[in-house]
Structure 1
Amino acid sequence: MPARRPAALHFPEEILVLDFSALSSTQPWVQAALGLAGLLLLAGLLERLACLLIGPAVRWLQPLAESGGLGRVLLDRAVLRRATLVVPVLVLHIGLRFVPELSPLVTTVVQNVVAALMVLFIARTLFKVLDLLQRTPDSRAASYARSRSIKAYVQMGKLVVGVATIVIMIAALADKSPLIVLSGFGAMSAVLMLVFQDIIKSFVAGLQIEGNDMMRVGDWIEVPQAGADGAVIDIALNTVKVQNWDKTIVTIPTWKLISESFRNWRGMQESGGRRIKRALMIDADSIDFLSDEQIERLRRIELIADYMQEKANAVKISRAMKLRELGDVMGRVPTNQRRLTNIGTFRAYVQAYLKANSGIHPDMTLMVRMLQPTAEGVPLELYCFTNTIVWVDYETIQSDVFDHLLAILPEFGLRVFQNPSGAGLRAALGEWRRESKPDGALPRVDEAGHRPG
C-alpha cells in the first residue's frame, strides 16, 4: 500500500503580510528605543574620544609627571585608561532623563545600574592608583617603601575602598541611602568582627610597628617562636615574610610580632661592627706562676715587651720592699713575694693582640676577662667587635683570632681544656703502666686492658 503524502500547509495571506505601519516614529516605544540607541552611541563616541586624548594629555602634563610622587601616578596611562571608563556611564546617567517616552520605572532601574557601574569603575581606578603608589620605582612612596613597607597601608586602603564600593553599589541598585545599608551591616557587627578580627589586629599591629620603627624591609630579625632567622622581605597587612639564611621563607602573622618578642639586628648593621663574644676554656692544671727564665723569654714578644718590662720592674721593687719589711729569710720565701702568672700574662697578650688586629673595631668595647671557673676549665672570654658586619668576613676574622690564640697558648705554659678521648685514655693507661714498672717490663694485658687469667 503506497504511503500517504502529508497535506500541504496553507496560511492566510494576512498573516504573511507584515504591518510596518506599527513602526512609526510617533510610537512611544520607538522614540524611547531611538533615544537609548542615540545615547549609547554618544557614550561610545565620547569614551573613544577620551581614549584618544590620553596621549596628548600625558605629553602636555609631562613636567608634572617627571616631578615624581603622586603626579606621576595619576598621569600613568593605565590609570587614565581606567578613568576613561567613567565617561560613558556618566553620559548614560545624565542623558537618561532626556530620553523621550521612557517610563519612570525603566529610567530609575537603568540609572541605578549605571550608578553602580560608575562606582565600580571609580573603585578600579583607585585600586590602580594604590598599586602604582607601591610599585612605581621613582615615586616618593616607593623610595619610602625601600626602608619602611607601605604595602600594609596599600592593602588597608584597598580594603576600605572595596567595602565602600560594595556598600554604595548595593545602595545604588536598591535605590536606598548608603546609611540604610550601613545600618544593616551594623546589625551584623558581631559577625563582621569575628570574620575580620585577624585583619583588625594585624592592622593595629602594623601601625605600632611603623609608628615605633620596630621593623623595616631588609632588617635581620630573629623570631624563635616562629623559626625565623633572616631578612624581612615583605611587610603586608596580615603577614610578614622572613627569608631565613637557608633560603627558606617563614610567614608570620603581623599581630604576633606585637604579642611576642623578637630580636632586630638593625642596630648592629647600622653601627658598622659585629660582636665577638667567645671564651677559651683553659685547663686549670696548667695555670702557674712564671719563673724568671720564662719572664725573660716572654719579654722578647713584641706585643707585650713593654708590659713585661713594666711588670718585671714592679716585681723587683716589690721584692726589695718585702726584703726590707720581712727580713732576708722570710722575704725570700716565694709565697711572700709578688709573682706573675702565666694566665695573667696571656690575658695581657690577648688584649694587645686584639688592639693590633686590623679586623677589630678600635672604637668599640674591647676587653679580655676571666669568668667563673667551671668543671670544663677556666673561661677566658674575648669581648670585642669586628670592623665589618659582612657575615663571611666576620667569621673569617673571628676564626683567625682563635686560630692564633689556640696555637700560641703553649708559649705561656697553658693548655686548652678538653675531655679525654679514647686515644687520650689509652695514652694515660700506658703511662701508668710504665710508672708501675720502672724496669720497663709491662704486664701482659689483652686489647680491652684486662690481664689474662
Structure 2
Amino acid sequence: MDQELRATIAQWLVNAGVDTEPSGGVSTSIMVLACLIVAFVGYLIVKRGVVRTMNMVIVRSRNRWDDIFMSYGVLEKVAKIVPVLILNIIMPLALASHSVLASVVDRLLDVTIIILLVRAVYSALDAANEIADVNLVSRRLPIKSFVQLFKLFMFFVAIIISISVLADQSPVYFLSGLGVATGLVMLVFKDTILGFVAGIQLAANRMVSPTDWIQMDKYGADGAVEEVSLTTVKVRNWDQTITMIPAYALVSDAFKNWRGMSESGGRRIKRSVQIDMNSIGFLSEDDKKRLSKINHLKPYFAAKSAELNAFNAQVVDSDMPVNSRHLTNIGTFRAYMLAFLKQHELVRKDMTLLVRQLAPTATGVPIELYIFTSDTRWSVYEDIQADIFDHIFAILPEFGLRVFQGPTGKDIRSLHTEE
C-alpha cells in the first residue's frame, strides 16, 4: 500500500508516545490486537453508520433502480473492504520487527482487497443487469452477455494481479506469458468467443430478444425466450420444458421468430375445409329464395341477379345450363363466408382477408380461409379459429354442401348391405 500514508501514521504514533518498533512478542501481539480492533471499529462505523443511512435513504426513494442495488447488497460488500484496507495500512507497522511476516501479511491483505473488490463489482453488475431487465433494455441489447464478458475479463485481471502480488512481480510479466498462451485460450474459450460475437450480431440485427417466441426445430425449441446469455439462449417451450441453444447457432442456422406477428397485432389463420365434389351444383330457384333471406347474402344476390340476368338475356337458348350462367352453391358459400368474416369483430379488416378455392384433390375441393385475428394471444386465437370453423361445419348443409370424410368400416358394410 501507499508507503507515504504508512509513514504519516507511524509519525502520528511516535508523536503520541507509542513505540512503533516493538521488540517483544507480547508487544507485537498487543499491536496486532489493536489493529484488529481498529479495523473492526472502522467496519462497524461504515456498516451501521454510512451503509444503514444510505439504505434508509434508498427505501424512502421512489426510484426502482436503487432498491435493486440494495437487494444485491452492493453497499454491504463495499463496506467489507474497509476493515481489510485499514489492516493493510496499519498491520505492517505492528509487524515492523518481523519483516518476513509483515511482507506475507501485506501481500495476503492485498489479494483479499482484490477479491472483495471483484465481489462488489460483480454484485453491482448483477444489479445493473436486473435494472436493464426491469426497464426492458435487455429486449434491445444483450446486457447479460456484456455483463458476463466483463465478469470474465475482471476474473482474469484479478487472477493476474493476485499472482503478481504474491510473487512480487510486475503484472506485465504475466501478461506477456498470457500472450504466448493465446492459442490455448482461444481453444478453451472457443464457445465463449463465438457466443459473444453471436450476441453482438443478435443485438445489432435484433434477431432475438427475451420474451420473443422462436421456433427452431433442429434443437427442439418452440417457445418463449427467457434469457440471452454470453454463450446460450434459454427457451421455455410451451410444454414447460427448457431448451438451451448455443448463441452462435442462432446466427449460423435458420430459426423462426414470431415477434413480427405479435408486433403487428394480427395472427394468421390459414386453414381449409374439404368440400365433397359430389355435393357441388347449381342453385335452384327455391334455393335462391331461401338463401336470399340470409342477411349477409342479400347484397350478393341483388348484385349477382342483375349481372346474370343481363348476361343471359343475350344468350340464345338460355334455358340450357351449359349456355347460360348460374349461381353455384359453392360460390354462394364463398360469398357468404367473405361477408361473414368482413363483419366479424375479431377479424382484422386492414390485413389480408381471403376466402379462396384451391386446386381439387383426392379429398375434395379445398375452401381456404386466409385471415388475421385481432388478438394474438394463443388461447384467444384458438378460440376464434374454432368458433369460425364450428360455424362453417354447421352452416354447410344450408348450401347443400358436405364436408369430405373418408368412408369408415361401418359405411363400407352399409354399402354391401344395400347391394
Pairwise TM-score range, normalised by the shorter structure: 0.7 to 0.9
Alignment map for 1:372-387 (pairs within 5 Å): 372-387=359-374
Query: Once the 2 structures are TM-superposed, how far is the Cα of residue 77 of structure 1 from its aligned partner?
Result: 8.3
Q: Does 1:82 align with 2:77?
A: yes
Query: Once the 2 structures are TM-superposed, how far is the Cα of residue 368 of structure 1 from its aligned partner?
Result: 0.5
Residue equivalent to 1:174: 167
Q: Does 1:134 align with 2:121?
A: no
Alignment map for 1:149-160 (pairs within 5 Å): 150-160=143-153
Q: Is the 8 A contact 1:237 1:254 kept in 2?
A: yes
Q: Is the 8 A contact 2:132 2:138 kept in 1?
A: no
Alignment map for 1:157-306 (pairs within 5 Å): 157-306=150-299
390, 405, 414: which one aligns with 1:418: 405
1:193 and 1:410 mapped to 2: Cα distance?
70
Query: Once the 2 structures are TM-superposed, how far is the Cα of residue 361 of structure 1 from its aligned partner?
Result: 2.2
Q: Is the 8 A contact 1:64 1:72 kept in 2?
A: no
358, 365, 381: which one aligns with 1:371: 358
Which residue identity is paired with 1:425?
I
Q: 1:338 to 1:212 in 2, by over 3 A?
A: same
Query: Once the 2 structures are TM-superposed, how far is the Cα of residue 61 of structure 1 from its aligned partner?
Result: 5.6
State the TM-score, normalizing by the size of structure 2.
0.85
Residue equivalent to 2:391: 404
334, 344, 366: which one aligns with 1:357: 344
> Bigger radius of gyration, 1 or 2?
1
Q: 1:56 to 1:234 in 2, by over 3 A?
A: closer
Q: Is the 8 A contact 2:55 2:70 kept in 1?
A: no
Deviates more, 1:274-283 or 1:332-341: 332-341
Q: Is the 8 A contact 1:372 1:379 kept in 2?
A: yes
Indicate the SS of the match to 1:383: strand
Query: Once the 2 structures are TM-superposed, how far is the Cα of residue 173 of structure 1 from its aligned partner?
Result: 0.7
Residue equivalent to 2:97: 102
Q: Is the 8 A contact 1:370 1:379 kept in 2?
A: yes
Indicate the SS of the match to 1:199: helix
Cα deviation code 1:59-117 (max 9, x no counterpart): 68659965454x66666782222212222332333335645753654444332222111
Q: Is the 8 A contact 1:54 1:80 kept in 2?
A: no
1:358 and 1:90 mapped to 2: Cα distance?
70
Residue equivalent to 1:337: 324
Structure 2, gaps ≥5 residues long = 1-20
State the TM-score, normalizing by the size of structure 1.
0.79
Deviates more, 1:27-36 or 1:217-226: 27-36
32, 36, 42: which one aligns with 2:38: 42
Q: 1:407 to 1:126 in 2, by over 3 A?
A: same
Alignment map for 1:425-436 (pairs within 5 Å): 425-431=412-418, 433=419
1:59 and 1:399 mapped to 2: Cα distance?
55
Which residue identity is paired with 2:78?
A
Residue equivalent to 1:316: 309
Deviates more, 1:196-205 or 1:264-273: 264-273
Q: 1:119 to 1:64 in 2, by over 3 A?
A: farther
Q: Is the 8 A contact 2:268 2:371 kept in 1?
A: yes
Q: Does 1:93 align with 2:88?
A: yes
1:199 and 1:417 mapped to 2: Cα distance?
55
2:402 and 2:171 mapped to 1: Cα distance?
83
Indicate the SS of the match to 1:279: strand
Q: Is the 8 A contact 2:39 2:84 kept in 1?
A: yes
Query: Once the 2 structures are TM-superposed, how far is the Cα of residue 239 of structure 1 from its aligned partner?
Result: 2.3
Q: 1:384 to 1:26 in 2, by over 3 A?
A: closer
Query: Once the 2 structures are TM-superposed, how far is the Cα of residue 289 of structure 1 from its aligned partner?
Result: 2.4
1:50 and 1:364 mapped to 2: Cα distance?
63
Percent identity between the two aligned chains: 40
Q: 1:76 to 1:404 in 2, by over 3 A?
A: closer
Residue equivalent to 2:112: 117
Indicate the SS of the match to 1:334: coil
Structure 1, gaps ≥5 residues long = 1-24, 324-329, 434-453
Which residue identity is paired with 1:278?
R
